[in-house]
A and B are shown apart, each in its own frame.
Chain A
Amino acid sequence: MSDERKTAVIVGASSGVGRALAVALAAHGWKLILSARDRRDLDALTADLTLRFNAECHPIPVDLSNRDYSGPAFCEQCVSALGIIDALFYVAGTIDDHDHGSTDDETTRKLADVNYVTAIKTLGAFAKLFGQRGRGTLVGFSSIAAAAPRRQNVVYASAKAGLEAYLRGLRHRFADTSVLVQGYALGYVDTAMAYGKELLLPAVSADAVANEVVRNLSRDIGIKYYPAYWWLITLTLRLLPWFIYKRLRF
Chain B
Amino acid sequence: MKRRLTSFDGTESFEAECVRPDRYRQLFAELSSPRLLIPRGAGLTYCAASAGENVVSVDARSFNRILEFDPTVGYVTVEAGITLGDLYRFTTPRNWILPVMPGSPSITVGGCIAPNIHGKNQFKDGNFRAVTDELRLFHPDHGEIVCSPRERPDVFNLTVGGYGLTGFILSARLRLQRLEHSAFRLRRLKVRSLSEAAEMMKDLANKVQVLYSWHDLNGSEFGRGFVYAGDPIESEGNNHELRYQELDAETRGRWRFPMFGRLSTRSSLAAYALSQRWAGEEETLTLAQAFFPPVGKEFYFKLFGRPGLREYQVLIPHDEWPTAVERLKQLIVSHSVPITLASLKIFRGRGALIDFEGDGVCLTLDAPEGRNTRELFADLDRWTEHAGGIVNISKDSRLQGSFLERIFPEFDRFRQQLTVFDPNRRFDSALRKRLDV
Contact = CB atoms under 8 A, between A and B. Distances in A.
Given A44-B79, A51-B90, A195-B20, A37 B25 contact: yes
7 contacts: A15-B62, A38-B23, A41-B24, A41-B25, A47-B68, A191-B22, A192-B20
A48 B23 contact: no
Nearest to B86: A52
A50 to B, nearest CB: 9
A45 interface: yes
B65 A45 contact: yes
Nearest to A49: B65
Given A45-B65, A48-B66, 6 more contacts: A15-B23, A38-B24, A47-B66, A48-B67, A52-B90, A192-B22
A67 interface: no
A229 B385 CA distance: 61
Interface of A: 14-16, 19, 36-38, 40-41, 44-45, 47-48, 51-52, 191-192, 195-197
Contact of A41 (B23, B67, B68): B23
Nearest to A36: B23
Contacts of B22: 14-16, 19, 191-192
Contacts of B26: 192
B20 A47 contact: no
B171 to A, nearest CB: 9
Contact of B24 (A40, A52, A196): A40
Main secondary structure of the interface of B (DSSP, over half): mixed
Contacts of A191: 22
A208 B399 CA distance: 42
A52 B65 CA distance: 9
A207 to B, nearest CB: 13
A164 B90 CA distance: 39
B294 interface: no
A48 B65 contact: yes
Most buried by B among A37, A45, A51, A191: A51
Contacts of B65: 44-45, 47-48
A48 B90 CA distance: 10
Interface residues of B, number: 19
Interface string B65-76: 111110000000
B401 interface: no
B4 to A, nearest CB: 13
B100 interface: no
Most buried by A among B18, B20, B23, B24: B23
A196 B1 contact: yes
B21 interface: yes
Interface string B42-82: 00000000000000000000110111110000000001000
Given A15-B62, A195-B20, A51 B69 contact: yes
A88 to B, nearest CB: 21
Given A15-B62, A51-B90, A52-B90, A44 B67 contact: yes
Contacts of A192: 20-23, 26
Contacts of B1: 195-197
A89 B27 CA distance: 25
A47 B78 CA distance: 10
Contacts of A16: 22
A197 B69 CA distance: 37
A16 to B, nearest CB: 7
Nearest to B28: A40
A15 B23 CA distance: 7
A246 to B, nearest CB: 27
Contacts of B24: 38, 40-41, 44
A15 B24 CA distance: 10
Contacts of B66: 47-48, 51-52
A14 B23 contact: yes
Nearest to B20: A195
A32 to B, nearest CB: 15
A45 B19 CA distance: 21
B93 to A, nearest CB: 10
Nearest to B68: A47
10 tightest CB-CB pairs across the interface, nearest first? Answer: A196-B1, A48-B65, A15-B22, A40-B24, A44-B65, A47-B67, A51-B66, A48-B66, A195-B20, A41-B23
B42 to A, nearest CB: 16
A70 to B, nearest CB: 23
Nearest to A44: B65
Contacts of B25: 37-38, 41
A43 B67 CA distance: 9
B87 to A, nearest CB: 11
A211 B68 CA distance: 26
Contacts of A47: 65-68
Interface in B246-302: none
A15 B18 CA distance: 18
Nearest to A16: B22
A94 to B, nearest CB: 12
Nearest to A39: B24
Nearest to B25: A38
Contacts of A51: 66, 68-69, 90
A192 B69 CA distance: 29
